Structure formats: structure tokens, C-alpha cells
Structure 1
Amino acid sequence: MGEVWDNITSTQPGASGTVVIVTGIVALLLIAWRPVWRQTRQVVTIAHEGAHGLIALLVGRQLAGIRLHSDTSGVTVSRGKPDGVGMIAVLLVGYPGPALFGIAAAFVLKQGYAVALLWGLLAALLLLLLQIRNLFGLWSVLAFGAIVFGVSWWGSEQVQSGFAHLLTWFLLLAAPRAVLELQRSRRHGGGRSSDADQLRRLTGVPAILWVGFFGILTLACLALGVAWSGILPS
């Protein structure tokens, strides 16, 4: 345990350019290949609903539970005023949530704390687990947490760093696709209870503008993540 704590609190050598590029390509394949995306998208849902829950607590709402479903949808229930700035903030953060978590992870990696990032993620998943209110959601968080724990506990320093970069790339790259899927669903008549449509009802701003905001923010996080990765020529 002392050795683990030392690894968590100390910096690790930065990943090579090859590792950064390869993990980015693998993350892109996990997102672009539809049969795999149906499974890996659950990680995006976990981040999405986790962001809702985090902001709900920060704005003073009472978090009543989170559900994750097998179709990769999810719902976060919080009690409080049904409108106002707090509720808008909760709805606003869902789709950008994975990208915001991704850019936070990229910042931590930039400082050299790949191992700390993985153990911090485990702590966050444990807190999220306490709010899960259905069996599939419980299984999803436990399965993802088991993978992260396995890499954190048994993986070599190189494996831990590579996995941390892979997960960071995945969050940054998957967030814009989730926004595209939202608009595709809305265009085909679905998603009328989406975050964007609920924001329209609360603010009067057209849902398409909220979707556009989600897209711009997720792409901005991706661009910043690419700049921080060091793969661009200086």
C-alpha cells in the first residue's frame, strides 16, 4: 500500500508521442466502429449522468438517484426547484460532461499524474455507485470500475499511462459524437425529453441552439486536449 500511495502522489514520465498517437487511434476506433460503440458508449453515459449528479449537488439540489439503461440512456433524479439557474445548470452540463471530464484528465496527464488520475477515477466511481438505483446501472459501474482497478493495481507504469491516455482520448472524442446522435434523434422525431429540449422549455432558447452549444464546447475541449497532448508541431 505504501508503494501504491507513492505512485499516486508522485509524477510519472510523460508518455511518448507514439503512445499518445496510438491510444488516440484506438479510442477513435472504439467510437467509430458501431458494434463496439454500442458497448463503449456506456462509459459516456456514466460520465453524462455523473456530471448531472455532480452539478445537482453543487447547486444545492438533493440527489435522489441515477439510473443507467442497457440502451445507453440514463436518468439522474434530483429534488429541488423545477426551474431557475440551478436546474438550468444541471441540464446544461450533461452532454458536455464527458468532454469536460476528458479535458480535466488531459490536464492531470499533462502534469505527469497518470496513476493519480486512475485512482481518482476509482474514487469517483465509488461515489457514483452509491447513487445508482437499478441493477444494470450497478453492473455497468462495477464492470468499468473493475477494469480501472485492474489496470491501477496490477498494470505496469507504462500500462497505466497508456490506459489513462486511452480513456482521456475516448472521453474527448466520444463527446462530440454523442451530441451528433442527439441531433440525429431529434431530427427523426425522438429526443423530445432531451436536455436540449428541457432547456428550451426552461429558457425559451431554441433547442437547436443548445445542441450547437454542446457541440462547440465538446469540440473546444477536444481541440485543447489535442494541443496539450504534444502531438502537434510547436
Structure 2
Amino acid sequence: MTSMVTTASVSLMSLGSLWDEVSGTQPDPDLWVVVATLVAAAAVVVPRAPWRIARNAVTIAHEGGHGLVALLTGRTLTGIRLHSDTSGLTVSRGKPTGIGMILTAAAGYTAPPLLGLGGAALLGAGRITLLLWLATALLLAVLVMIRNAYGAVSVLVTGSTFVLVSWLAGPQVQAAFAYAVVWFLLLGGVRPAFELQAKRRRGGAGDSDADQLSRLTHVPAGMWLFLFHAVSVCSLLGGGRWLLGL
């Protein structure tokens, strides 16, 4: 009996220590690290070649945003598919019209910059470990809903990177990785709306999120594009201030 009580006490102490580590604060990295991760993220987002690969991570956040809001609004999430051309598809069941469908359709392009803004708030508060664990949990939730092989591999590779950094890397590496990820979401959240705008100008993307929202609300697709731009740019400005400590 005593042994069982002792084992339970040790387990509770271990869980308590783990929670303290996750929920506790960590020291901010030096300013040069913050600036270096900003430059690194920009080097991935701005040039065309690295962006074509890195955009898969933005697509995960985009489709994950659709899926999360679908669940929050009472829709039934059927599955998520990620494709090698960095496009994606989230399927949910429910009323084809109404506020739930509108919010679900609007969540895709706004999800990456808003995730970046939330991440910047956590980093601004010194919650580096908590950010890494929350990101891992979100990726695991997306993985459960993936319905194709390419999507599963993409999420597994991304999630494994977070797990390895969270468990094996030192505090300085974790901080640099966390800041690079958040900068990437903030910067990478801006570009897709401009890409969509360019496609629509050339007569393509007729079934885009903006066009679906236009059909649902009878508001011009250009106004929804403006919303996507406003959310991404404001998130970048606000998140950037938090990350730079301004």
C-alpha cells in the first residue's frame, strides 16, 4: 500500500514538474536572434523557389483553420486533404448556408496570420515551451483528420520537427525555432491573399474561398479579399511589435 502511494506521489510530482516546465516562462532571446529569424523567414517566404516548398506549412494552417471553425460552429468535419501543389481541401457536413458556413469559409486565409499573432503573443509573454507544445497538439489534431497519404506525410514531418525540437534541443535552439516559426506564419500569412488576387485577375480561382463567401453573403469577392489582406497585414504589424519588443 505504501509503495502504491509513493508511486502515485512520484507520478503526480512528475506531472506537476512537466506542467510547470510547459506553462512557465523562458528568457527572451537576444535581439539579434529575433532579427535573424525574421530575415530567415523572409528568405523562405519572399523568393519563389523556397516558398513553393514552405507553402505546404501554410496550407496545413489554412485547412486546419477551416476544420477548427467547422467544428466550433457545429458542423461535422469529414476530412482534410493536402496536395503536392500546396492546395488543400476541407470537407464538412451541415447547412450549406448560414453563419456556420460563412465563418468556416472565412477561416482559411485568416488562420495562418492569426495563428502567427497568437504565437507572437505567447512569445512576447516568454511562453516559448507552451507555444511549441500547443503547436504540436494542433498538428496532431489535424493529422487525425487527414484523408490522403501526401497530407499525412506533410503533417507528420512538420509535427516530428516540433517534437524533436521540444524534447532534444536546448533553450536557445528552441527559442530561435519558435521565433522563426511565428515569423514564418506572420509573413507567410500575407502572401497567399496576394496570390489569390493575382489568380482572380487572370480569370482563375473561380471557386476560391473569396468567391464562395461572395455567393454565400452576396458581398463582392473583392471585399472578402480586402478582409484577408487586412487580417494578414494587421497581424504582421501587431505580431511584429510583440516579437521585437516594441
Structure 1-normalised TM-score? Answer: 0.96
* Residue of structure 2 equivalent to 1:208: 222
| Of 51, 62, 65, the match for 1:37 | 51
* Residue of structure 1 equivalent to 2:148: 134
Q: Does 1:93 align with 2:115?
A: no
Confirm or deny: 8 A CA contact 2:120 2:240 kept in the other structure: no
1:231 positional shift: 5.2
Confirm or deny: 8 A CA contact 1:172 1:218 kept in the other structure: yes
For 1:97 and 1:193, the matched residues in 2 are separated by: 19
Q: Match for 2:62: what amino acid? A: H
| Of 16, 29, 47, the match for 2:30 | 16
Per-residue Cα deviation, 1:60-115 (whole angstroms, up to 9, x for no partner): 00000000000000010000000111100001111011000000001111111101
* Residue of structure 1 equivalent to 2:213: 199
1:5 positional shift: 4.4
* Residue of structure 2 equivalent to 1:77: 91
Q: Give the secondary-structure state (helix, strand or coil) at the position aligned to 1:193.
A: coil
* Residue of structure 2 equivalent to 1:227: 241
For 1:211 and 1:96, the matched residues in 2 are separated by: 10
Q: Match for 1:48: what amino acid? A: H
Confirm or deny: 8 A CA contact 1:49 1:66 kept in the other structure: yes
Q: Match for 2:77: what amino acid? A: L
Q: Give the secondary-structure state (helix, strand or coil) at the position aligned to 1:94.
A: helix
Per-residue Cα deviation, 1:116-161 (whole angstroms, up to 9, x for no partner): 1101111111111110000000000001011111111111001001
* Residue of structure 1 equivalent to 2:6: none
* Residue of structure 1 equivalent to 2:11: none
- Please give the root-mean-square deviation of Cα atoms over the aligned residues, in Å: 1.2
Structure possessing the higher radius of gyration over alpha carbons: 2
Confirm or deny: 8 A CA contact 1:20 1:231 kept in the other structure: no
Confirm or deny: 8 A CA contact 2:200 2:206 kept in the other structure: yes
Q: Match for 1:56: what amino acid? A: A
Q: Say how many residue pairs are matched.
A: 232
1:230 positional shift: 2.8
For 2:134 and 2:231, the matched residues in 1 are separated by: 24
Alignment gaps of 5+ in structure 1: none
Q: Does 1:190 align with 2:187?
A: no
1:6 positional shift: 4.0
For 2:144 and 2:189, the matched residues in 1 are separated by: 25
Q: How does 1:123-162 map to 2 (within 5 A)?
A: 123-162=137-176
Q: Give the secondary-structure state (helix, strand or coil) at the position aligned to 1:77.
A: strand
Alignment gaps of 5+ in structure 2: 1-13
For 1:10 and 1:228, the matched residues in 2 are separated by: 18
For 2:18 and 2:188, the matched residues in 1 are separated by: 31
Q: Match for 1:68: what amino acid? A: L
Q: How does 1:163-182 map to 2 (within 5 A)?
A: 163-182=177-196
Structure 2-normalised TM-score? Answer: 0.91
